[in-house]
Amino acid sequence: MVRVVNSQFYVDISFPLRLLQRWGSRNLLCVSILLTLFYRALAVYLFGGHPTYVVLNTPADWLPFVPFLAKLSTFVLGMVVAQAYCNRKGPVFWQSRRALWVGAILYLIGFVCQFYRLGWIVTDLLLPVGLTLLCMVAFRTLLGLPGSDSTLRWFGSHSYSYFLIHNFVIDRTIQLVVGDNLSLLLVAARDGHRNACSCCHCRFNFSCNSATGGNSAEIH
């Protein structure tokens, strides 16, 4: 699966790159965001899918979110930021305080959105951007430590390798640490969510599968 997704990325990224040179960064970014939102809305409400990290049952599982189009705007945003960086502009040159506030707000909104079906449409547009800004601030802070420059450069040279194996490592870690207790954690999350939202008259119902039926919950 990782090989298929990455091959798809390398094949598809060349077309947006040509459009970036022809349309300009702002026009391409706006179009890519609209296309991504439209496709993700179809993936949720028409195809019956959910983002890969959501532990909920949907008819099509996470398969509708595998195509490149589901995250097109994120890649285009990275291209736009890279182009701005070459011109010594853009978020990379923001002050740490600004990057911290913007990153924290985007990440918080994206984190909340992943617990709601409507939020699945926009969550992947917010979480990566917010997390990237927060990491940028964290790495700037680490650069003040002795010997950190060479260490971070070494990690940076292997960053793509970490990307290739991160999904496998996270999945195996969850299986080893959580295991059969996943359904119990989902029940606790359900009860905590209901208590927190009672003042707003919100209802968010979960039903946990049995241990033999699967360790996932179903959203209604």
Distance CA 30, CA 114 (A): 23
pTM: 0.69
Angle between helical axes of 72-86 and 123-142 (0-180°, round to 10)? 40
Instruction: Walk along the chain (220 residues) and give the pLDDT tens digit of each residue.
Output: 444 455 555 556 677 778 888 898 899 999 999 999 999 999 999 999 988 777 677 888 888 998 888 988 998 999 899 999 999 999 999 999 999 999 999 999 999 998 899 999 999 999 999 999 999 999 899 888 888 888 888 888 888 788 778 777 777 776 777 655 555 454 444 444 443 343 333 333 333 343 334 444 333 3
**Radius of gyration from C-alpha coordinates of the chain:** 20
Residues 6 or more apart from 74 whose CB is under 8 A from it? Answer: 36, 124, 125, 128, 129
